[in-house]
Amino acid sequence: MYGYKIKFNSLPVSLWACATTVTDYMWENRHNKNMIEISVSSFTKKTKIINGKTYVVHGNDISCIVGDDDVKCFCETNSPISITSVAVMIPDLECTKCEFGENDFRDESVILLPQFINNPPDSLNLYAIKALHNMIKYNLPSGEAMKKVFAAEFIGLLCEIDRAVRNIDEESKANYYIKKIDRFIDDHYSEKISLKQIANELNLSTVYVSSVYKASTGITFSQQLLNVRMLNAERLLTNHNLPAAKVAEYCGFCNESYFRKTFKKYFKINIKDYRNMKNGITLYHDKPLRKK
C-alpha cells in the first residue's frame, strides 16, 4: 500500500473545504510540500496515475494527497463524480512517501495515510463524509474558536484513517498466514505435522495461528489437515494396485487400521466398497431383500 508517514506539532490551517459534483473530471496535483488534501469521491470509474503507475478504480474512494506528490486523476467523458474535499497547510509537516511495510504498521510515532483506499469500509466512509462536512461548516466562520474546532476535526479524521489502515494490514497479514499454512499442509500432509510446528515456522504462537485460521476459514487447522489427507487418499485409492497400507503411509496416517476407521467415518463408506464403486461394481450398503 503506497502512502505517507507523517508527523507534525502545529495545528492544521484550513485552505479550502468544499463539496461538488462535476463531469469530465480531470485533476493534477499542484500542492506544495506542507499541504494535505483529503477527499471522499463517488464515481463509476476513475483512473489514478501515481508517480507513473496507473490504477483504475470503481465505486468510491478516500484519497489522501500529501505534499507535491506526482498524482493525476480523471474520469471518463460525461461521467459524473461527486467529491467532498478539504485541504490544509501544516507549517512543520514531516512526510515520508513510501510503500508501507510491516515495520511501518508497528510504528505508532507516525500517522499512516494511504494515497487512496478504494471502496473503504462503510464505517470509515461514513465517518470521513461526516467529518468533511463538519469541516466545511466550521471553515465558514473566521473566529479562532472555529479554527481550533476545524483543526481538531481534521486531526480526528487523520487518526481514523490511520486506524483503518492498520486494521486493513491485520486482515492482509491474516490472509498471508492462511496461505502459508495451507501451502505447508499441502507440502507436508504425508508427514507427522502439528499446529505447533507450523507456528514455529511462522514465528508465531500456536494460539494466534489457531485463532486466525479458524476465524478466517471457519474450520480448524486439524480439520483442514484431515481434509487434505482424505482427498489425497481418495485419489490414491482409485489405483487398485496400491495397498491400503501404502495409501495410509503416503497420507500421513500412523497405521492402516486407524486410516481405515478414519476413511469410513469421513466418507461414510469403507475402503473396499469405495474401490468397488470406483470400479463400477454395484454397491449394497444394506443387504438386498431376497425375492420370495
Q: What is the pLDDT of residue 281?
A: 52
Taking each helix axis as running N to C, give the angle between helix 271-278 and helix 256-267, from 0 to 180 degrees, rounded to the nearest 10.
Answer: 60
CA distance 158 to 169: 17
Give the residue-averaged pLDDT of 112-126: 88
Grid coordinates belonging to 175: 490472509
Q: What is the pLDDT of residue 279?
A: 65
CA distance 132 to 153: 8
Per residue in 140-154, pLDDT (tens digit) is 767 888 889 999 999
CA distance 80 to 261: 64
Average pLDDT, the chain: 86
Give the residue-averaged pLDDT of 230-241: 85
Given a cut of 50, whether residue 48 has pLDDT beyond it is yes
Q: What is the CA radius of gyration of the chain?
A: 29
Q: What is the pLDDT of residue 262?
A: 93
Taking each helix axis as running N to C, give the angle between helix 221-237 and helix 206-217, from 0 to 180 degrees, rounded to the nearest 10.
Answer: 70
Q: Which residue has the higher pLDDT, 241 or 118?
A: 118
Give the residue-averaged pLDDT of 71-89: 90
Per residue in 11-29, pLDDT (tens digit) is 999 998 889 999 989 988 8
Report the percentage of the chain scoring pLDDT > 90: 40
Per residue in 151-203, pLDDT (tens digit) is 999 999 999 999 888 877 666 667 778 888 898 999 999 998 999 998 888 87
Q: Is 227 exposed, middle or buried (0-12, 13-18, 19+ CB in 10 A)?
A: middle
C-alpha to C-alpha distances, 124 to 83, 162, 219, nearest whole angstrom? 16, 11, 30
Given a cut of 60, whether residue 290 has pLDDT beyond it is no
Q: Check if the beta carbon of residue 62 is closer than 8 Å to that of residue 39.
A: yes
Q: What is the pLDDT of residue 10?
A: 92
Question: Domains in the chain, ordered, with CATH?
Answer: 2-171 (2.60.120.280), 223-278 (1.10.10.60)
Q: Check if the beta carbon of residue 93 is closer than 8 Å to that of residue 34.
A: yes
CA distance 122 to 32: 31
Q: What is the pLDDT of residue 285?
A: 47
Give the pTM.
0.59
